Amino acid sequence: MEDPADQPEFYEAPEGADVSAFAPGTVLRERTFKYYVATMETSWDLTQLLYVTTSALGVLEPNVTSVIHPPQGTDGSIVAYQSFYDTSNPFDNPSRSIAGNLSLGGLIPALENVFILPALLAGHSVVVADTQGKDANFAVGPAYGAALDSLRAATAATTTELRFGRASMRRRSSSDSLVWRKAV
């Protein structure tokens, strides 16, 4: 199988798609493969989504998020993990590291598995957005709306099996990631 990190066409909107005509969170492409940790393929499934978000300049653009599926199946909740990477190189985005690419700037997402693995083992699906956007806009606050749009995409995608009628967000403490749970 071709290395998913080496598929640049996945990171661009489909030919003829007018991204400005879609709402934030709209899924443009989906692909599924195995989750990589520091270039090593695991047996865990991963879905990557190209979705619409709003750039730092207020323009709708495509972005990528990764939905890591727990090995024993999901309990119906999603943990939104925001990588602490900061780079101006799009090839260092978490989606590329998770797809098997390793670069110096991509080492941070590889190390962050210490935070991601406990959530997966607890049965949560983990959503990791390329928070800085497709152009890796270093330290640009308004680009960070990609995180919420990535959750919209993850629950709308046909391949993630994350379906919510009503959902609630809760935070256990200021250091916790957001967790979405299916409302009863």
| pLDDT at position 142 | 58
Do the Cβ atoms of 130 and 147 come closer than 8 Å?
no
Q: What is the mean pLDDT of residues 117-126?
A: 90
Mean pLDDT, all residues of the chain: 77
* The pLDDT of residue 53: 92
- For each of the domains in the chain, give its residue range(s) and CATH number, in order of start: 4-160+177-182 (3.40.50.1820)
Mean pLDDT of 38-53: 88
Mean pLDDT of 95-119: 76
Q: Is the pLDDT of residue 14 over 90?
A: yes
pLDDT at 16: 93
Q: What is the 3-state secondary structure (H, E, C) of 98-124?
A: HCCCCCCCCHHHHHCHHHHHHHHHCCC
Residue 61 scores a pLDDT above 50: yes
User: In this predicted structure, what is the pLDDT of residue 99?
Assistant: 80
Percent of the chain with pLDDT over 90: 27
